[in-house]
Amino acid sequence: MEETVSAIEEIEEELSPIEEPVSESEPIEEEIIPAEEPVVETAAPKAMPVFEEEPTDLAGKFSATPIADIKQSISIAKKFEYINTLFQGNVEKYSRSIVNLNSMRNGDEAFEELNRLRRELGWEEEDANYLELANLIRRRYLG
């Protein structure tokens, strides 16, 4: 049994970790070289034309079709929506404005009048109803 104990003690001595002296040396500094990314040349973004692109979908093709009369192109539901949202509930102002916008000599005059109305009535340029009305005016004076 003593042999077994001494054999175990010898094995334990062999298995015990050996402590290595720690040297105090200066830390190693590695030079970091950034990876080169390929330079992709891009053209400056083109200004998006608002009305000059050729429409590809059916709705776009209809919106590019000229109309003869703004008043006739506005549905009854849209008429009431425009009166309530754009013309502050004033039916007479709506009617006079549509007749006036419809009878301008050209699109420039019509858009000048539309912008005057926008300022007078406080319409937001991003308002969906304003943009729809502007599109109808554009279509009225196409060509």
Give the separation between CA 50 and CA 48, rounded to whole angstroms: 6
Convert the pLDDT of each residue in 9-41 to its tens digit: 766 666 555 555 555 666 666 666 666 666 555
Rounded to two decimals, the pTM is 0.58
Convert the pLDDT of each residue in 45-90 to its tens digit: 443 344 445 555 655 655 679 999 999 999 999 999 999 999 999 9
Integer CA distances (angstroms), 84 to 37, 48, 78, 94, 131, in order: 56, 32, 10, 10, 15
What's the confidence (pLDDT) of residue 31?
67
